[in-house]
Structure 1
Amino acid sequence: MSTAIGFIYPDHAAEDDYPLAEKLLQESGVSVSLEVAHIYGTDLHAVPELLDLGSPEKLSQGAALLAEKQPAAVVWACTSGSFVYGPDGAPGQIAGLADDAGVPASSTSFAFVNAAHTLGVKKVAVAASYPEDVAALFVQFLAAGGIEVVAMSSQGIDTAAEVGTLTPEQVLDIARAHDHPDAEAVLIPDTAMHTIGVLADLEAELGKPVLTANQVTIWEGLRLAGFTSVQPSLGALFRGRLDNDNLRS
């Protein structure tokens, strides 16, 4: 019997990354189902809208939608809708979600920090799809988690729906263009972007770990649920054992 892991996903864009990852995980012997529940709001990459999208009321709705699946853990699958609360507000956001869901919870923003720590990465390049003011908030969030951003780019894309239409080659182009020689890894922080199917190509192209939003979100859910997994097609993050030591739970 599969263990369910719940993901609260905003609107619609790249949620098909989750069944693809589930298939790959099951092929590697991990008996999990990745359950996605949708909440809705404007998909603008703008601070007021993102604060509303990640509000306690909306996340509580998502937790209620997932309840019948009896998930072992729940993750708020939105980077911008979590880091916009800042390093002081984001812990309360996931604490509230954990209370509502009755299981361990996290968000994509904390997943990025935990994934970087697991890989021993301290210096990164950020290839963001967001407008610059929103991307800068992600840089601040990473800095609070002890991760130095040596290069940051912003594509200036205003909506998640537009990000969801980027082709695999466009995703590769964004990563190629915004790597940095001092970066130990490249971070691509938008769950609206399809990345699960191109992780192997991204890392082969750049020659270093690449952390993407849906990848780290899924990894975080597995970690919280107590799973270990080796699935090389999901990137360097999945080539070793998941490690709960010294990570935010």
Structure 2
Amino acid sequence: MTRVGFLYPGHSAQDDYQAFAERLGDGIELPVVHTLMREDAHRVDALLDVGGPDVLAEGADELARMDVDAAVWACTSGSFVFGRDGARDQVAGVRARAGVPASSTSFAFVHALRQLRVHDVAIAATYPDDVSAKFVEFLGAAGVNVLSLASHGVPTAAEVGVLDPGEVVDFVVSNDHSAAGAVLVPDTAMHSADLVDALESRLGKSVLTANQVSVWEGLRLAGATDTDKGPGSLFRSGTGPVDTDL
């Protein structure tokens, strides 16, 4: 049995992890620990609080009692707003408290792109413009070339969690870039387990969503290798070693 634990702020799309677990099949468990969200807002100040060391330490301590094989801070915006160094510090803190290999969704995007050998990307983000720009900066520091950025401007995670699947598909498809090797959809508040395959079929290229890369990253850290039942080209590519930032 492989158990990957996720630190997840609030309650918006946490059931997506169960959907991924069911897709991956027997032998995979993806338990979620809900971390404190004092304010649900896609604003930089609120996101800095969501990813604060006190919040993550409390959640990581709970994961330490759950016998997990790896831990992931599953909040893209709550990691990339800290910049590359600050996001590394977050992961180091979770690793120390949980006592297992750890990562975060922001680093998972970078590692997934390296796994797929994709350098040029389009981003379809649900965040406001200023928050989306922080993700572009984070990716740029890791050598990723962002060809286009679309911001949906949804103000809260709760609102993202109830977006109509058809609306999500239309938003992602309409914000592809012809030269991009992948489209990135960076919000763990968005349900995506049942959308990735349809999106890749429509676009003819890799689509990386926040919950998808979080699950893949956790399985990679835990040493799981049988992942081809997971959605999208990322899972079909396996979980072999990649050049990581951690």
Give the TM-score category using the shorter length. Answer: over 0.9
Query: What letter matches 2:50 in structure 1?
Result: L
- Return 5+ residue gaps in structure 2 as ranges: none
Work out the CA distance in 2 between the residues paired with 1:109 and 1:206: 23
Q: 2:14 corresponds to which residue?
A: 15
* Conserved? CA contact 1:210–1:235, under 8 Å: yes
Q: 1:33 corresponds to which residue?
A: 29
Can you list the C-alpha shifts for 1:31-54, whole angstroms capped at 9, x where unaligned? 121010001211201111101110
Residue 232 (structure 1) shift: 4.9
Q: 1:149 corresponds to which residue?
A: 146
* Conserved? CA contact 1:200–1:233, under 8 Å: no
Query: Counterparts of 1:105-144 in structure 2 under 5 Å?
Result: 105-144=102-141
Query: Counterparts of 1:165-180 in structure 2 under 5 Å?
Result: 165-180=162-177
Q: Which residue of 156, 160, 163 corresponds with 2:157?
A: 160
Query: What letter matches 2:5 in structure 1?
Result: G
* Conserved? CA contact 2:24–2:229, under 8 Å: no
Work out the CA distance in 2 between the residues paired with 1:245 and 1:112: 12
Work out the CA distance in 2 between the residues paired with 1:198 and 1:229: 21
Can you list the C-alpha shifts for 1:192-228, whole angstroms capped at 9, x where unaligned? 0001111110100111000000000000000000111
- Deviating beyond 4 angstroms after TM superposition, the runs of 4 or more aligned structure 1 residues are none
Paired residue total: 245
Identity value in percent: 51
Q: 2:182 corresponds to which residue?
A: 185
Question: What TM-score do you get using the length of structure 2 for normalisation?
Answer: 0.97
Can you list the C-alpha shifts for 1:156-209, whole angstroms capped at 9, x where unaligned? 111000000111101101111100101110000000000111111010011100
Query: What letter matches 2:153 in structure 1?
Result: G
Query: What letter matches 2:167 in structure 1?
Result: Q
- Return 5+ residue gaps in structure 1 as ranges: none
Work out the CA distance in 2 between the residues paired with 1:233 and 1:199: 10
Work out the CA distance in 2 between the residues paired with 1:3 and 1:245: 20
Query: Counterparts of 1:155-234 in structure 2 under 5 Å?
Result: 155-234=152-231
Structure 1 residues 32, 10: CA separation in 2 closer, same or farther (over 3 Å shift)? same
Where 1:196 maps in the other structure, the secondary structure is coil
Can you list the C-alpha shifts for 1:74-108, whole angstroms capped at 9, x where unaligned? 00000000000001211111111111111111100
Cα RMSD after superposing both structures = 1.1
Question: What TM-score do you get using the length of structure 1 for normalisation?
Answer: 0.96
* Conserved? CA contact 2:120–2:182, under 8 Å: yes
* Conserved? CA contact 2:35–2:59, under 8 Å: yes
Residue 247 (structure 1) shift: 2.1
